[in-house]
Amino acid sequence: MTQTPRGFTIMEIMIATAILSMGLLGILALFPVAIDSGRKVMERSTAVTIAKSVAEQIRAGIRNQKRYVTSRDMPYTYFIFHHDGVKDPIPRDSSLERPSGDYYILLPRFRPAQAFSGPKDPESRMKAVTKSADFKEFVFPEDDDSPNGGGDPGQADNDGDDHPDGSKILVKKVYTLGNLLPGPDEVGEMVLEDQKYDTYKQYSFAFSIRVSMYDTNLSLNPGQFQPGNDLYHVRVMVFRSFHYNAEKVIQEGKGQEPVYEIDFEVTR
């Protein structure tokens, strides 16, 4: 006797459909996570590349474009910063270089023979040195009314204390990127459409410079630290879609967070 094949009941079909739907929903839920993760990876990769290029140009500037200026019978040092983000034209004649130019990077320094008692390790040094009125951490691009103190670090503002809660530097101004790429209205054989809207243009950066706590100690007294003004600590901060809002800073007590930061030491 031939047996008629048994089919699926409505209940079985509904259960199978529900299980399949739950599986598909789980898979679909992964797409936003994957897209967001991919975006963050690309954002970080671009920011790392920018930070490294800035660090290299800072090293190159100190190595090859260092200048000396005398103010109040004291010699001070600055260097010329070459990068896509620099907008002010760099003079061909060094005598025409001005502290107000965004290419002008003044190096902070302590007065000769200035010593600090007690500190032996870098952490203790930091606590002692930062209490000094001569401690300066400069942030570039410069945003003060008297840029770079007119070329005198003693007259320049300590940008490191600009943050409301003192924990991080408050960046108010940045170097914008993509200045060498064509604008939306530019035309010509050498202008590519995708260059006009390159995501690279969404990024910007700033950097700070202060005397390193690992600087040369000129003091012969083991209980003192006398900075040699030879080693500097630099922090590069990369932003995306930077916007400074003074009211928001006052309300929230903090500025915009960088998407990437890099710290390094560089010798004068």
Q: What span, in angstroms and rounded, lies between the C-alpha atoms of 217 and 228?
A: 6
Could you tell me if 106 and 78 are in contact, meaning their C-beta atoms sit under 8 angstroms apart? yes
pLDDT value, residue 181: 62
Q: How far apart are the first and last CA of the chain?
A: 100
Q: What span, in angstroms and rounded, lies between the C-alpha atoms of 251 and 233?
A: 31
Residue 67 phi/psi, 5-degree rounding, is -130, 160
Could you tell me if 160 and 208 are in contact, meaning their C-beta atoms sit under 8 angstroms apart? yes
pLDDT value, residue 87: 92
- Each residue's pLDDT tens digit in the chain (268 positions)? 555 566 667 777 777 777 777 777 776 666 666 666 666 778 888 899 999 999 999 999 999 999 988 777 778 899 999 998 999 999 999 889 999 999 999 999 888 888 888 767 777 777 778 888 888 999 999 988 889 988 888 889 888 877 655 567 889 999 998 776 656 666 666 656 556 556 788 899 999 999 888 888 888 887 888 888 899 999 999 999 898 888 888 787 788 899 999 999 999 8
Could you tell me if 64 and 82 are in contact, meaning their C-beta atoms sit under 8 angstroms apart? no
Give me the half-sphere count of Cα atoms (radius 13 Å) on the Cβ side of residue 151: 19
What secondary structure letter does DSSP report for 149?
A: G
pLDDT value, residue 131: 80
